[in-house]
Amino acid sequence: MTLTTGPVDAYPEVLRALSRTVLYDYDPAFQHFYENVCLKLQKALETKTVPVILQGEPVLGLQAVAASFFNKADIVLNLVSGAYGDGFGEWVRPHCGELLELRTPFNEVIDVEKVRQMLASRPDISVVSICHHDTPSGTINPVAAIGQAVREHGALFVVDAVSSFAGMDIMPEPCCVDMFVTGPNKCMGCPPGLTILGVSERAWKKMHANPTAPRDSVLSILDWEHAWKAGQPFPYTPSVSEINALDAGLDRYLEEGPQAVWTRHDLTARACRAGIKAAGLEIWAAHDSIASPTTTVVRLPQTVTDTDVLEVARRRYGVIFSIGRGETKGRVIRIGHMGPTAQPIYAVAGLAALCGALGELGVDVDAGAACAAALSVIRQ
Shortest distance, position 172 Cβ to a second copy, whole Å: 23
Shortest distance, position 347 Cβ to a second copy, whole Å: 9
Site for a second copy, residues 353 to 372, rule: CB under 8 A: 353, 355-356, 359-360, 366-372
Exactly one of 51, 82, 172, 192 binds a second copy (CB under 8 A); which one?
192
Say whether residue 147 binds a second copy (CB under 8 A): no
Residue window 311-350: x/- pattern of binding to a second copy, with contact defined by CB under 8 A:
---x-xxxxx-xx-------------------xxx--xx-
Say whether residue 241 binds a second copy (CB under 8 A): yes
Exactly one of 90, 113, 201, 288 binds a second copy (CB under 8 A); which one?
90
Count of beta carbons in the 10 Å neighbourhood of residue 208: 10
Count of beta carbons in the 10 Å neighbourhood of residue 205: 12
Count of beta carbons in the 10 Å neighbourhood of residue 378: 17
Exactly one of 80, 158, 168, 245 binds a second copy (CB under 8 A); which one?
245
Say whether residue 85 binds a second copy (CB under 8 A): no
Total residues in contact with a second copy, by rule CB under 8 A: 77
CA distances from 121 to 77, 117, 125, 180 (A): 12, 6, 9, 26
CB 328 within 8 A of CB 136: yes
The three-state DSSP-derived secondary structure of 112-155 is: HHHHHHHHHHCCCCCEEEEECEECCCCEECCHHHHHHHHHHHCC
Site for a second copy, residues 53 to 82, rule: CB under 8 A: 55-57, 59-60, 63
Whichever of 15 and 144 has its CB closer to a second copy, that residue is 15
Site for a second copy, residues 2 to 61, rule: CB under 8 A: 2, 4, 6-10, 12, 15-28, 55-57, 59-60
Say whether residue 212 binds a second copy (CB under 8 A): no
Q: What 3-state class would DSSP assign to 320?
A: strand
Q: What does DSSP assign to residue 50?
A: P
Instruction: Please tell me the distance from the alpha carbon of residue 367 to that of residue 356, in angstroms, as a whole number.
Output: 7
